[in-house]
Amino acid sequence: MNWALVGASTIAREYVISAIRAQVGHEVLHVVSGSPERGAAYAAENGIASSATDLEAVLADPEVGAVYISTTNEKHFPQAMAAIAAGKHVLCEKPLAMTLGDAVTMVRAAERAGVTFATNHHLRCSGSHRAIRSLVAEGRIGRVLSMRIFHAVHLPPHLQGWRINDAGAGGGVIPDITVHDADVARFILGEDPLTVAAQMAASGMGDTVEDSAMSAWSMPSGAMVMAHESFTHPFAGSGLEVHGTEGSIFASGVMTQRPMGEIELVTGEGRTPVPFSDHDLYTQGLSDFASAILGKGQPAATGWDGVKSLAVALAVRKSAGSGQREAVDYGGAP
């Protein structure tokens, strides 16, 4: 399977190119960039055979089977629609699009075209999140009462660009991190938030967009989820907790791109460390995507998962703006 990268991005360079190459028979053939100079330098730096500025020309290459889209967020929709129209399988970065309608349109177009479409929600690919999900599904903590997600981090200097100063490119912590937290809650609890009540702030880094958000979500089971995202917290650390009638799960350092952190299960019998696989998150996501293309299972996060995480994030922003509790509109997602 040959890939085209759309976007000479940091995430592709740091994680996804190596994850593609870790799949047997997968290679990156082209990188598409808006800048011929940066695209050529990126291709040389990453051992990619060709760079181009013309997406349509790359999509016309019959050697390309799959496309990874990691441009700034406002470009995902037109680029994904073009790739789908060309019959390519698509792995698209989160948030899928700027609006829910565009995200739904992308996923429906992929269904009609019969191509595999996935969202790159890496956290549900981690051994830690999969272990926590299993504990919950096995009933080890009884009925879930609440979940707390701690995802207030410090945006590293090399990423302090469009994320903090360009609303038009999809900047802001809510499209950047709240989407991940929505996916984590849905993945671990197996249900979709109904309503959200949120606040957001610019706490030192955000220029024209929010850099911090806190919200509470109500779940159909009656469980409550609390989520905190930020770009401005150098020492907060990340984590999540799930509390049930028979036990609690404490996971620290697990809202990351690397396989790290610690999990403890606490019940009436005491505290038990929970082991988990330390496989690479992105390699697992690419492996699940490659299998789905071959008709074996689903991608780790499907297009509809991307629609739903975006729906929750949009509701969080709406609630923070209105000061009201808002219902999550999933746009008819199944």
SS3 216: strand
**Identity of the amino acid at 41:** A
> Minimal distance in Å, beta carbon 154 to ligand NDP?
15
Are 125 and 285 spatial neighbours (Cβ–Cβ below 8 Å)?
yes
Are 334 and 201 spatial neighbours (Cβ–Cβ below 8 Å)?
no
> Minimal distance in Å, beta carbon 248 to ligand NDP?
27
- 3-state SS of 182-238 is HHHHHHHHCCCCCEEEEEEECCCCCCCCCCEEEEEEECCCCCEEEEEEECECCCCCC
> Minimal distance in Å, beta carbon 5 to ligand NDP?
9
Is the Cβ of residue 93 or residue 181 nearer to ligand NDP in the bound state? 93
Are 194 and 148 spatial neighbours (Cβ–Cβ below 8 Å)?
no
Is the Cβ of residue 175 or residue 247 nearer to ligand NDP in the bound state? 175
Is the Cβ of residue 73 or residue 230 nearer to ligand NDP in the bound state? 73
**Interaction site with ligand NDP (CB under 6 A):** 7-11, 33-35, 38, 70-73, 93-94, 120, 122, 159, 161, 176, 257
Is the Cβ of residue 72 or residue 230 nearer to ligand NDP in the bound state? 72
> Minimal distance in Å, beta carbon 161 to ligand NDP?
6
Is the Cβ of residue 70 or residue 319 nearer to ligand NDP in the bound state? 70
Give the Cα separation of 229 and 231 in Å (integer): 7
Q: Please name every residue paired with 242 in a beta bridge, in sequence order, or none if there are none.
A: 147, 249
> Minimal distance in Å, beta carbon 159 to ligand NDP?
5
> Minimal distance in Å, beta carbon 293 to ligand NDP?
19
Is the Cβ of residue 71 or residue 215 nearer to ligand NDP in the bound state? 71
Give the Cα separation of 79 and 75 in Å (integer): 6
Are 202 and 210 spatial neighbours (Cβ–Cβ below 8 Å)?
yes
